[in-house]
Amino acid sequence: MRFASLLIFLVFMILVGCKTEQPGTEQTQTVTGEKNKLHYTVPDGWVSEQPKSRMRLAQFRLPGQDGAEDAELAVFVFPGTGGSVNANLARWYGQFKQPDGAASEDKADVKKQKVHDLEVTLVYVTGTYLQSTSPMMMGGPVKEVPSSAMFAAIVETGTDPWFFKAVGPQSTIDHWRPSFDALVQSFKWE
């Protein structure tokens, strides 16, 4: 009996120790091989998850609202191969189709701002998301997901750009858009 109690206690402690990081805590990511770090504060309500691929530095689930599905935000850095801001924006626009046939670039809300000496490009676009069904996420077949939206930020650090990109149902993205703006205002480079 005593052994069973001890075993239950140990299992409980292991489970408590394995819980994921709570939202609202400061996250620091480091570019491999660099001394500098981008600090940012994760907004309350965002759920930290294990990244789906090794290409992602971090991943967050943004809970759905009013019956809508969750959205997902991924953080990327591609040392030496991130591409220009405009090339990334063009690629992201190509992931959306507009109901009226217009170019997604023409419908996107894009703005540039300076945050703690960092140049940040913000983009928000809605439409039908052309979700890749390929494991490499480039080319290949897509699944059309209507009523979708994306908000994203490209942070120019002086070394390699950082990418914060969230995609999901428009109602979920719109709900979390103010907290995304708060995330952007928390960016600090050391």
pLDDT at 26 (0 to 100): 61
* Domain-embedded: residue 6: no
- Phi, psi dihedrals of residue 138, rounded to the nearest 5°: -125, 125
pLDDT at 20 (0 to 100): 40
* Domain-embedded: residue 173: yes
Counted domains in the chain: 1
pLDDT at 79 (0 to 100): 79
* Domain-embedded: residue 94: yes
Contacts of 65 (CB under 8 A, 6+ apart): 171, 172, 175
* Domain-embedded: residue 10: no
* Domain-embedded: residue 109: yes
DSSP 32: T
* Domain-embedded: residue 7: no
* Domain-embedded: residue 83: yes
| Regions of the chain where pLDDT drops below 50 | 2-24, 32-33
User: Which CATH number characterizes residue 160's domain?
Assistant: 3.40.1000.10
Contact 46, 60 (CB under 8 A): yes
Q: Which residues form the domain of 133?
A: 23-189
Say how far apart CA 48 and CA 161 lie, in whole Å: 22
Nearest Cα residue to 158 out of 9, 31, 2, 48: 31
* Domain-embedded: residue 17: no
Q: CA 29, 32, 37 angle in degrees (round to 5)?
A: 35
